Structure 1
Amino acid sequence: MSHYSPSMPSASPSLVLASTSPYRRALLERLGLTFATAAPDVDEARRPGEPPQVLVLRLAEAKARAVAASHPDALIIGSDQVACLDDAVLGKPGDRAGAIAQLERASGRTVLFQTGLCLLDARSGRAQTLVEPFRVHFRPLSRARIEGYLDREQPYNCAGSFKSEGLGIALFERLEGEDPNALIGLPLIRLIPLLEAAGIFPLGV
């Protein structure tokens, strides 16, 4: 039974996910909490010279604060993620050619995912924030395997050009991190103590 609700009463505190991502929504549903979703209107452009971990932290909080205006009595979850290879940020590929280029570059190498998380209490303006790293070690990938994968999943709106919750898992040699949910976009293990500190207890008090 899903506990997701598209609308919320004004009970305090209500919970809002500042994202319309179906992947983040599905992750949050695992905690059995009632919540709403809202699309944040935020410019996600990276500032010149901005380190990836600073970028995701800034955007996670910006997304939460953007939603706070329409949910002034809520606890709001904001999250943002980038994939990094060496010093370069891998964005969403957008199309097949971009995904092939990203996966060829990642072949046999390690991609670091940085996920920013913010839990904002819109009533007080207080934000709890953190960045959760997660490393993906890719198998050596031939062009034929890359194209075969893209034919099946078409992950063109996913940073790094894969869906780890699907066939993308076959691209990896090893995963390294404390919260595997972070790879999909919402680090639940790290979120739970933030929720508890704000008065929401997924397992009860």
Structure 2
Amino acid sequence: MKIVLASGSARRREILASLGLTFEVCPSNVDEDVKTGTSPGDAVCELAIRKAAHVASTFPAALILGSDTVIDLDNEIVGKPQDAADARRILEGLSGRAHLVHTGVAVIDSTNGRTEVGRSTTKIGFRRLSASEIESYIGTGEPMDKAGAYAIQGRARDFIQLIDGDEDAVIGLPVGLVVDLLARFGLTTQVPERHSA
């Protein structure tokens, strides 16, 4: 069956391709607002389903894979910064603390609507950042389109002193979870060596 990735993320494309899968890409442009009071962990699953379902209507016979990632600091979702001042506020909040990164993945069989969903959570710990480090990082522009105002695979790598969980989930897709969800639809894939535990 055809596989469709409901995301335009280059990182998600790379990770899915590393499983040896052939797939199409059809980014989902859905409303990403969630009901007030929804926990960050529940939000990623809800949004992953919403994204996959939106694309499923376009492909009548396919497995649609949707995903969403959020930063969770003290059970509050930390989104993308609106401007440099917001990026500074976010990074100051993450400095010297640990937070959670939740990634939800949903796979929908568009022929019958069957949906399988799961979530991966990774704990990330930042060392204490100086004001000059934060200003320098904001100056690179990297934080401006990233949830939590940082990219783990970018210059912010130097800020991180703890990664407890699946790093691929933080970057884009939790490989083990994707393999498990696809297997529920009878699709066997092999986790590449670099993603093995």
Q: Tell me the TM-score normalised to structure 2 length.
A: 0.91
Runs of 4+ aligned structure 1 residues displaced above 3 Å come to none
Show the counterpart of 2:190. 203
Q: Please, which of 179, 187, 200 is the counterpart of residue 174 of structure 2?
A: 187
Given that 2:40 and 2:76 are in contact with CA atoms closer than 8 Å, whether structure 1 keeps it comes out as no
Given that 2:179 and 2:189 are in contact with CA atoms closer than 8 Å, whether structure 1 keeps it comes out as yes
Show the counterpart of 1:4. none
Give the share of equivalent positions with the same residue, in percent. 38
Given that 1:153 and 1:167 are in contact with CA atoms closer than 8 Å, whether structure 2 keeps it comes out as no
Show the counterpart of 2:52. 64
Q: Please, which of 101, 114, 117 is the counterpart of residue 126 of structure 1?
A: 114
Show the counterpart of 1:76. 64
Q: Unpaired segments of 5 or more residues in structure 2?
A: 192-197
Q: Unpaired segments of 5 or more residues in structure 1?
A: 1-12
Query: Deviations along 1:50-103, whole A, 9 cap, x unmatched?
Result: 111221111100110100011111111111111111132100113222111111
**Between Structure 1 and Structure 2, how many residues are aligned?**
191
Query: Deviations along 1:146-184, whole A, 9 cap, x unmatched?
Result: 12222235221111111111222111111111x211111
Given that 2:70 and 2:147 are in contact with CA atoms closer than 8 Å, whether structure 1 keeps it comes out as yes
- Equivalent runs, 1:158-197 vs 2, <5 Å: 158-177=146-165, 179-197=166-184
Amino acid aligned to 2:177: R
* Cα distance in 2 for residues equivalent to 1:153 and 1:163: 11
Query: Deviations along 1:19-60, whole A, 9 cap, x unmatched?
Result: 111221122121121111112131111212111122111110
SS in structure 2 of the partner of residue 77 of structure 1? strand
Amino acid aligned to 2:29: D
Q: Residue 146 in 1 paired to residue 134 in 2?
A: yes
Point out the structure with the larger helix share: 2
* Cα distance in 2 for residues equivalent to 1:112 and 1:105: 13
Given that 1:96 and 1:154 are in contact with CA atoms closer than 8 Å, whether structure 2 keeps it comes out as no
| Superposition RMSD in Å | 1.5
Given that 2:119 and 2:177 are in contact with CA atoms closer than 8 Å, whether structure 1 keeps it comes out as no
